[in-house]
Amino acid sequence: MRFTSEQRLDDGVVERGFTLGEVPGILWTPGSASAPAPLILLGHPGGLHRMYPRLAARARHTVAEGFAAATIELPGSGDRPRLATVDEARADLQRALAAGAPVDGEIVDRLVLPLVEKAVPEWRAALDALLALPGIGGPVGYAGGVIAIGVRLAVVEPRISAAVLFAGSYVPRSMFEEARQVTIPLLVLLQWDDEGNDRQMALDLFDAFGSREKTLHANMGGHTGVPGFEGDDGSRFFARHLR
């Protein structure tokens, strides 16, 4: 892990850019030294530059609540080399949506499964590096979209103790079986009128999770309309499970 930039934001949060091999990432930590902070991994749909304003806002909120926050770029997104097969699948998906056609499970598989396969080992490597830094401790939470990545991480990565999952992206049918293997506490966010999501699929996925403690929060509005108070709810959820 190599740090590439460091700045102190106006609220005292320290923001550091890093690269881990060829994967760029960002780490946000409290400005003043204190006890090791539990780490929240911030998931996102890819494109660190494009997503930066929303990621930074979530990170500052997270750090203000006493956590550290970190994210990495997704395979095929931002400045990373494109993944031709994923780009093709995304184009097929957009064609299907534009035509008002039902979204074929085969397209979803081609879009999401290679991303999960490539991204999850990268998130785990980032976790190794981040947890070796001073000031960052376990346990770890995952918060974010590309819910399939969150599901796989929750199954394979024992250091992740709780997750806030944003049910706003397509999930391959094969991952419902994985969802049954998830046992950590979950808070699942659903935007009820999300134009790019399948509400019934999100409800089925929530039903499938094997966790004894799982809570669904559904709110009105579209994909990017998650109300601000859900940020507070997420912090309290992590405070219950990571402290």
Q: Using CB under 8 A as the criterion, which residues of the chain lie in contact with a second copy when the complex forms? A: 192, 203, 206-207, 211-220, 227, 229, 232-233, 236, 240
DSSP SS3 for 193: coil
Longest pairwise C-alpha distance within the chain? 54
- Cα 207 to Cα 2: distance, rounded to the nearest angstrom: 41
- Least separation in angstroms between residue 226's CB and a second copy is 11
Give the nearer residue to a second copy in terms of CB position, either 149 or 187.
187
Give the nearer residue to a second copy in terms of CB position, either 92 or 230.
230
**Are the CB atoms for 141 and 241 separated by under 8 Å?**
yes
- Least separation in angstroms between residue 138's CB and a second copy is 23
- Cα 69 to Cα 233: distance, rounded to the nearest angstrom: 16
- Least separation in angstroms between residue 34's CB and a second copy is 25
- Least separation in angstroms between residue 215's CB and a second copy is 5
**Are the CB atoms for 30 and 50 separated by under 8 Å?**
no
Give the nearer residue to a second copy in terms of CB position, either 105 or 225.
225
Of 8, 43, 47, 41, residue with least CA distance to 24: 47
Give the nearer residue to a second copy in terms of CB position, either 131 or 203.
203
- Least separation in angstroms between residue 218's CB and a second copy is 4
Q: What share of the chain is helix, strand, coil (3-state, %, to 5)?
A: 40, 25, 35
Q: Would you state the structure tokens that stand for residue 26, as one six-digit string?
A: 């960002």
Give the nearer residue to a second copy in terms of CB position, either 69 or 190.
190
* Look-up of token digits 């750090």: 63
